[in-house]
Structure 1
Amino acid sequence: MEFTDIAMEISRESWQASFRHPFVLQLQKGNLDPSIFRYYLIQDAYYLNAFSKAYDILAEKTSNPEMKRLLKQNAQSLVEGELFIRQQFFKELKINDEEMERQPIAPTCYHYVSHIYRQFEEANLAIAFASLLPCPWLYHDIGKSLNLKPSPNPLYQQWIETYITDELEQQIREEGVLVNQLYRESDETDKKKMLDAFHISVHMEAKFWEMAYQHQTWKSDLQSLEKGEE
């Protein structure tokens, strides 16, 4: 079996959790609390900035010409496309630098970014590449699913349409071909690490919605831990 088939099989529960989360369901219905969407955008800005840099870092590290090409292409597309649209959302919602400073990176966002950057320590860069794949792939799938019944909220529908472009579909297809090749060329130990890196990223994607839905902060995260100990 190919990497993409195995990875999807072991990550199916976490993958589907994103589609079932109230954030995603209410986004489609148009009744997601605007404050939740606002908080999501702020945290996603932190994540996307780190994600774009991860593309660049990995592109500099790899000697694989196809990986280098895809990573540089993806980094540029992210800056020109998704990050630009985020700025449009920020402008419309009047999210400024002061508000960003008042809401530092949340625990889940921090842990997700840390997970991705941890993979750069592995000698086999295919492991880091595998950790980056769930983000565009999952969002494209969610976008296609939600667009079957467009959101009545124009802002939320604009967000959905960000992820259903032909360019993104082509990116995911090309990344899938490459990651399958890298998987075949890896030894059994690294194959498992690739699958683990992918699976953790899918899990963190599911937790990202909950982070935004609960307006997670370091204080609230600590309080939830303390309640668990009672």
Structure 2
Amino acid sequence: MTFTEDLARQTDDLWQQIHAMPFNREMAAGTLRRDVFQGYIVQDAHYLEGFARALSLAAAKAPTATVLAQLAGSASGAISVERALHAHYMGLFGVSDTAFTRIQPSAACDHYLSFLLRTAALGDFPEAVAALLPCFWIYREVGREIAGQSQPGNPYAAWIDTYSGEAFDQSVARMLSLTDTLGADADGPTRARMERAFRRACWHEWRFWDSAYRMENWAQPPEARHSLAEPTGTPVGVA
């Protein structure tokens, strides 16, 4: 069993919940509400910017130029694919650059990015890579599953095609290979840190989708005068 196969085994409970959650089931059926998906896409665009920064922090810690190039290549491939997807849907939904900048990251998005950036900045290189892996790997697996269930005319076909496509698959394969190499070379304490980081990131993947489906924003105390994000009553991600 490879290191990443063992990671998948250890987090099987979370993976099953992610595959079964309403957001992904309804996307596969093409019945996911448009406003829910719009909110998700806006938050995902915010997330991608922070994810790119975390990847850059991790790459700076790479032990060799070869590994640095491998991680940078994986990052570049995945990010270019996702940026094109976001641009497609932003245009479709009429979300301008100005409108996008007015929409703040949700609590779930902010929490996930804080975890990734902290791990990439303060953790060692193997731990950082393990924390970044679920964003690649889980999206590929969910994309593949939905692609096998989706029918022609699904309004979310562009999303499905992106994450079940060859370009994204190649980026994921490179990240899996790198993680397996790092895991095989790691000592016991390092492997334990990698496992904890991977599981926490899997939880954040579940939380991000769950929050988007519920259109959750920042919870406020009843008497709060100022919101941490958007004005009261403004749905997350809706311009």
TM-score by length of 1: 0.89
SS in 2 for 1:217: coil
**What does residue 225 of structure 2 align with?**
none
**CA shift in 2, pair 1:78/1:180, >3 Å:** closer
- Mean Cα deviation higher: 97-106 or 128-137: 97-106
- Note the C-alpha offset of 1:193: 0.5
- Note the C-alpha offset of 1:149: 2.1
Alignment of 1:129-168 (within 5 A): 129-168=129-168
Percent of aligned positions that are identical: 26
Q: 2 CA distance for matches of 1:123 and 1:42?
A: 29
**What does residue 33 of structure 1 align with?**
33
Name structure 2 gaps, 5 residues minimum: 223-239
Is contact 1:30-1:152 (8 Å) kept?
Answer: no
Q: Which has a greater percent of helix?
A: 1
Q: 1 CA distance for matches of 2:67 and 2:202?
A: 21
Deviations, residues 90-127 of structure 1 (Å, cap 9, x unaligned): 01110123433443111111111111112124452010
Counterpart amino acid of 2:143?
Answer: G
Is contact 1:59-1:68 (8 Å) kept?
Answer: yes
Q: 1 CA distance for matches of 2:162 and 2:78?
A: 11
- Mean Cα deviation higher: 53-62 or 104-113: 53-62
Q: 1 CA distance for matches of 2:123 and 2:169?
A: 29
Deviations, residues 3-24 of structure 1 (Å, cap 9, x unaligned): 2122111111111111111110
Is contact 2:41-2:86 (8 Å) kept?
Answer: yes
Counterpart amino acid of 1:127?
Answer: E
**What does residue 67 of structure 2 align with?**
67
Name the count of aligned residue pairs: 222
Counterpart amino acid of 2:89?
Answer: F
Deviations, residues 129-159 of structure 1 (Å, cap 9, x unaligned): 1111111111111111111122455431111
- Note the C-alpha offset of 1:161: 0.5
Alignment of 1:5-20 (within 5 A): 5-20=5-20
- Mean Cα deviation higher: 66-75 or 3-12: 66-75
SS in 2 for 1:218: coil
Q: 2 CA distance for matches of 1:70 and 1:155?
A: 34
Q: 2 CA distance for matches of 1:108 and 1:9?
A: 25
Q: 1 CA distance for matches of 2:172 and 2:44?
A: 20
